[in-house]
Amino acid sequence: MTGKSAGFDFGLKTFLTCSDDNNIDSPLFLKQSLKQLKLANRKLSRKKKRSLSREKARKNLVRVHEKVTNRRTDWFWKLAHQLTDNYDYLYFETLNLKGMQRLWGRKIGETRF
């Protein structure tokens, strides 16, 4: 028990802003992998439908999406463990992420947890 407590605020520029002036930036894994995703999607769209090559290209696209998801999930788990090790009580704001995603699109999808 550390006896510490902290409140956190979700933001677009920084992922989390802590009440004791710590900022946690989001690594933006989707933005980093966007070039690979575009390339894999383009390769898939050029293949003939119902062909073996198209199935291979589809699996490659799925692999790239999975890699982004796994990196994001891993980062969230590591962040959660880091926060629970440093603080006993964590307070987060309640957000309507679906409504925010309509306004800001991919930026919110990138940082959602």
Share of the chain above pLDDT 90, in %: 61
- Distance CA(44)–CA(59), nearest Å, equals 9
pLDDT score, position 110: 65
User: What is the mean pLDDT of the segment spanning 5-17?
Assistant: 85
Residue 38 in tokens: 């575009």
Decide: 112 and 29 in contact? Cβ < 8 Å.
no
Decide if pLDDT at 113 tops 60.
no
| HSE, side-chain direction, 13 A CA sphere, residue 88 | 4
Decide if pLDDT at 107 tops 70.
no
Q: Where are the domains of the chain?
A: 5-96
- Look-up of token digits 């679906």: 98
Enter the pTM of the model.
Answer: 0.79
- Distance CA(73)–CA(31), nearest Å, equals 15
Decide if pLDDT at 97 tops 80.
no
Q: CB atoms < 10 A from the CB of 55, how many? A: 12
Mean predicted lDDT score pLDDT of the chain? 89
Decide if pLDDT at 25 tops 80.
yes
Residue 68 in tokens: 């982004």
- Distance CA(31)–CA(12), nearest Å, equals 14
User: What is the mean pLDDT of the segment spanning 40-69?
Assistant: 97
